[in-house]
Amino acid sequence: MLFNAILASATAITFLMWLVDRLWLRKRRHAAGKEHPNAILDFGIGLFPVILFVFLVRSFVAEPFRIPSGSMIPTLHIGDFILVSKFSYGLRCPVGDCRLLGSGMPQRGDVVVFRFPGSGPDRGEDFIKRVIGLPGDHVTYVDKVLSVNGTPVTLADATAVATAHGEYQRVEETLDGVRHAILVNPDVAPQDFEYTVPPGSYFVMGDNRDNSYDSRYWGTVPDKDLKGRAFLIWMNWNAEKFRPDFGRIGEIIH
């Protein structure tokens, strides 16, 4: 959010420099026989189209994000750099909560980036989770089986996975036709719950089901806090091996 505000301010400042030079200063220079503006003005004018392009792309086309935690493993790994579609859920104001155009809404199974809606130090930070429940849905989670509106989500192909934190089960989950993998830790006791999603909000969970700080703990995501739908891994940096993981680059996010 802060970076977007800074980028918007930089775009406005360099635009004003370009506009003032175009409407007023350029004529004065020509009358005085000067070809170029001073160094600061020249730098700002030259920077304006670059900043404008970046601002428009980040605000209305696609924005890059880095995955900082393991809450979405195995779908997304720590060190993944992803692209988020900014128009999937309607064009929104670059700064603020307003919607400019369109009425697209998340669907069950979408991986979304949003501003953290809860209180505390995470307020306003970018989070990424999977949409489980839409407005009005009744979501239950009993014995680590997810159900939406009374229908259990299909689970298949459970396999054991050894991680640095112990043995996990990797399970294929199908949510409204979206097939994706989740991780379940059999050593963690089930956290059963049921919840009805309020209007204008979405219930989200991480794919690393027993290691995710999500709607089970802080509630739902209001529509105004959505930033977009994650759709592509464009880079991965493996910090342990200190090199990119080229096998993950270009993966489509499901």
Catalytic-residue membership of 129: yes
Q: Tokens in use for 251?
A: 């993966």
Q: What whole-number distance in Å separates Cα of residue 170 and Cα of residue 31?
A: 73
Q: What whole-number distance in Å separates Cα of residue 57 and Cα of residue 49?
A: 12
Catalytic-residue membership of 71: yes
The distance of Cα 251 from the centroid of its chain, to the nearest Å, equals 16
Element (H, E) at 60: helix 39-60
**Neighbour-count burial for 43-74, b at 16+ CB within 10 Å, e otherwise:** ebbebbeebbeebeebbeebbebebeebbbbb
Catalytic residue among 71, 201, 212, 215: 71
The distance of Cα 186 from the centroid of its chain, to the nearest Å, equals 29
Catalytic residue among 85, 88, 129, 215: 129
Q: Mind telling me the catalytic residues? A: 71, 129
